[in-house]
Chains A and B, each alone.
Chain A
């Protein structure tokens, strides 16, 4: 087994198996060779599915004709043996430290697995001169488990803030699948607004760029996480693809700055609705509507006055045939009881094209704040205070030599009302 194959296997099995079902699991075995001597002889599906009898020779496993492999164990032989209709189900094989199919009736537990995600970077920024610093931005423990229609996942994240580390329970959710058109989730989850927000979460190894768009990241404009319940589902529409929906009802922002999801706003629930058309060739077209309430930070407002937040968004995405196209736009309207209503506009486009293991990309992101200033985002001390236009332009190259590893080199120009700063980042992101 090559190192690469071993890493892949290790990642898929999870570095730590918490399953109690099969404590006596066997050790890893070599990956079998590709089917040797594949002749391309194709049998009709009906013939392959025809009942076999005890007189028939044993089924030909992969690698037939090749030297004996570790699969040629009695256990494996029993699995590949001809089936007899009246025969009781044979014991399922175990391999790789876990049993994944041990119940003919289904509904078995796959146990829990733990995966590790993280990234580390070197970032240089230019003000009057270039300076550089190292950072370990994120380290995550991702746990998932499922049994039957019930599944669970949790994402515990250690975030680097300078050289300090903060702990954040980024996601923890329980999900029950009723049908393709109805799935119910409860817990802390990402806000299903647009495409990027709940697609990439914080596994930077899967992201194209070195970090999330500012508008949807922590401390950005849109609420990144919600705590509540969500339902979603997909309806097959035949030749035109399928349609999906998401509805989230959750606690809104806290009255206590900085804005964050918390249970302290019982009178105001965040409601988010997303509708999507999943076109058969891969295009995804979606729209969002979100209603939330947030505390006013303006001194002209009485203490703890809520600002009504209404967000509308649209996204167009295409991630097939080596293309990486994400285009998202949104408008956020804030209505305060005693101040003028304001609207903030923003959006970004992430464009890339994969050339083997390399993907060059660009990502412009733009935010336009209202002339009078936004009561929520542009309070004193906010990084956006006093701004009218925020433009973040990035370009870079992502190299993914392994499924578990992505290396990125990125240049960035950050412009705020004419003032600008250049940054350069080298990042290694992993997921094992």
Chain B
């Protein structure tokens, strides 16, 4: 898919890199994580937005998309919101609205990156964000963001 907002994404990554990293060369402190049975190799920002707002309901593997998110103002959620070009409040509000609309399933409520990894290893349709430093088990894998 085309990269719809390269400037916005670059700005988001730069801003969060400055805010969250302790060394100047920091990049992507968080990874998009999914189940190992999910064959997707990379994902665009637009696809990520649609995944997290109910626009994509099923993976190519056939698994039903199930979003996992930490519903508070933590770094993982801030990073995701910045990637999508919205504030944390706006992102959470949009997700809730889409659930209310019936367009997406209730997200799995996570509390940490470890939760995300556990979620991804156990649910074939899982997608969430986890600390990029965390080692992933066999049942989970990271997906590059284009």
Residue-by-residue, is B106-146 near A (CB-CB < 8 Å gives 1, otherwise 0)? 11110111110111011111100011111111111111100
Q: Are A32 and B89 in contact (CB-based, < 8 A)?
A: no
Known: A31-B70, A35-B131. Is A234-B109 also a contact (CB below 8 A)? no
- Chain B residue contacts of A123, Cβ below 8 A: none
Q: Are B20 and A71 in contact (CB-based, < 8 A)?
A: no
**CB-contact partner of A144 in B70, B106, B108, under 8 A:** B106
A89–B119 alpha-carbon span in the complex (Å)? 12
Q: Are A32 and B112 in contact (CB-based, < 8 A)?
A: yes
Q: Which chain A residues (63-112) contact chain B, with CB distance < 8 Å? A: 63-64, 71, 76, 79-80, 82-85, 89, 92-93, 95-96, 98, 100-106, 110
- Interface residues in B, total, Cβ within 8 A: 79
Q: Are B136 and A103 in contact (CB-based, < 8 A)?
A: no
Q: Are B73 and A5 in contact (CB-based, < 8 A)?
A: yes
Asked if A201 is an interface residue, CB under 8 A from chain B, the answer is yes
- Chain A residue contacts of B71, Cβ below 8 A: 8-9, 11-12
Least Cβ–Cβ distance between B134 and chain A, in angstroms: 5
**CB-contact partner of B31 in A39, A45, A63, A189, under 8 A:** A45
**CB-contact partner of A106 in B85, B108, B125, under 8 A:** B125
Q: Are B92 and A100 in contact (CB-based, < 8 A)?
A: no
Q: Which chain A residues (30-65) contact chain B, with CB distance < 8 Å? A: 31-35, 37-43, 45, 48-49, 51-52, 56, 59-64
Asked if B58 is an interface residue, CB under 8 A from chain A, the answer is yes
Q: Are A239 and B58 in contact (CB-based, < 8 A)?
A: no
Q: Are B119 and A48 in contact (CB-based, < 8 A)?
A: no
Q: Are B56 and A180 in contact (CB-based, < 8 A)?
A: yes
- Chain B residue contacts of A291, Cβ below 8 A: none
- Chain B residue contacts of A38, Cβ below 8 A: 20-22, 26, 29, 75, 131, 133
**CB-contact partner of A32 in B17, B74, B139, B142, under 8 A:** B74
A115–B56 alpha-carbon span in the complex (Å)? 24
- Chain B residue contacts of A180, Cβ below 8 A: 56-58
Asked if A148 is an interface residue, CB under 8 A from chain B, the answer is yes
- Chain B residue contacts of A59, Cβ below 8 A: 114, 117, 134-137
- Chain A residue contacts of B140, Cβ below 8 A: 49
- Chain B residue contacts of A186, Cβ below 8 A: none
Q: Are A403 and B89 in contact (CB-based, < 8 A)?
A: yes
Residue picked from B46, B107, B111, B119, most chain A C-beta under 10 Å: B111
Q: Are A100 and B96 in contact (CB-based, < 8 A)?
A: no
**CB-contact partner of B114 in A42, A52, A79, A281, under 8 A:** A79
Known: A31-B74, A61-B134. Is A280-B4 also a contact (CB below 8 A)? yes
A345–B17 alpha-carbon span in the complex (Å)? 51
Q: Are A39 and B22 in contact (CB-based, < 8 A)?
A: yes
Asked if A151 is an interface residue, CB under 8 A from chain B, the answer is yes
Q: Are B5 and A281 in contact (CB-based, < 8 A)?
A: yes
Q: Which chain B residues (1-22) contact chain A, with CB distance < 8 Å? A: 1-2, 4-5, 8, 17, 20-22
Least Cβ–Cβ distance between B81 and chain A, in angstroms: 12
Known: A38-B75, A357-B89. Is A173-B111 also a contact (CB below 8 A)? no
Q: Are A61 and B113 in contact (CB-based, < 8 A)?
A: yes
B124 closest partner in A (C-beta): A106
A105 closest partner in B (C-beta): B124
Least Cβ–Cβ distance between A119 and chain B, in angstroms: 14
A47–B138 alpha-carbon span in the complex (Å)? 11
Q: Are A60 and B135 in contact (CB-based, < 8 A)?
A: yes
Asked if A113 is an interface residue, CB under 8 A from chain B, the answer is yes
Asked if B39 is an interface residue, CB under 8 A from chain A, the answer is no
Chain A interface mostly helix, strand, loop or mixed?
loop
Asked if A142 is an interface residue, CB under 8 A from chain B, the answer is yes
Asked if A179 is an interface residue, CB under 8 A from chain B, the answer is yes
Asked if B63 is an interface residue, CB under 8 A from chain A, the answer is yes
A80–B31 alpha-carbon span in the complex (Å)? 16
A337–B28 alpha-carbon span in the complex (Å)? 67
Q: Are A45 and B142 in contact (CB-based, < 8 A)?
A: yes
- Chain A residue contacts of B112, Cβ below 8 A: 32, 61-63, 71
A108 closest partner in B (C-beta): B123
Residue-by-residue, is A134-155 near B (CB-CB < 8 Å gives 1, otherwise 0)? 0000000010101011010100
- Chain A residue contacts of B138, Cβ below 8 A: 51-52, 83-85
Known: A49-B141, A146-B106, A203-B100. Is A62-B122 also a contact (CB below 8 A)? no
Least Cβ–Cβ distance between A429 and chain B, in angstroms: 12
A234 closest partner in B (C-beta): B55
- Chain B residue contacts of A133, Cβ below 8 A: none
Known: A8-B71, A101-B123, A142-B100. Is A83-B20 also a contact (CB below 8 A)? no
Q: Are A96 and B111 in contact (CB-based, < 8 A)?
A: yes
Known: A61-B113, A151-B105, A357-B89. Is A39-B136 also a contact (CB below 8 A)? no
Least Cβ–Cβ distance between A108 and chain B, in angstroms: 8
Residue picked from A40, A89, A171, A354, most chain B C-beta under 10 Å: A40
Q: Are A40 and B25 in contact (CB-based, < 8 A)?
A: yes
Q: Are A49 and B111 in contact (CB-based, < 8 A)?
A: no
A147–B99 alpha-carbon span in the complex (Å)? 15
Asked if A400 is an interface residue, CB under 8 A from chain B, the answer is yes
Asked if A238 is an interface residue, CB under 8 A from chain B, the answer is yes
Q: Are A177 and B4 in contact (CB-based, < 8 A)?
A: no
Q: Which chain A residues (5-27) contact chain B, with CB distance < 8 Å? A: 5, 8-9, 11-13
Q: Offer 9 A-B interface pairs, CB within 8 angstroms, sorted by A.
A: A9-B109, A31-B74, A42-B26, A43-B133, A52-B138, A64-B131, A110-B108, A234-B55, A239-B1
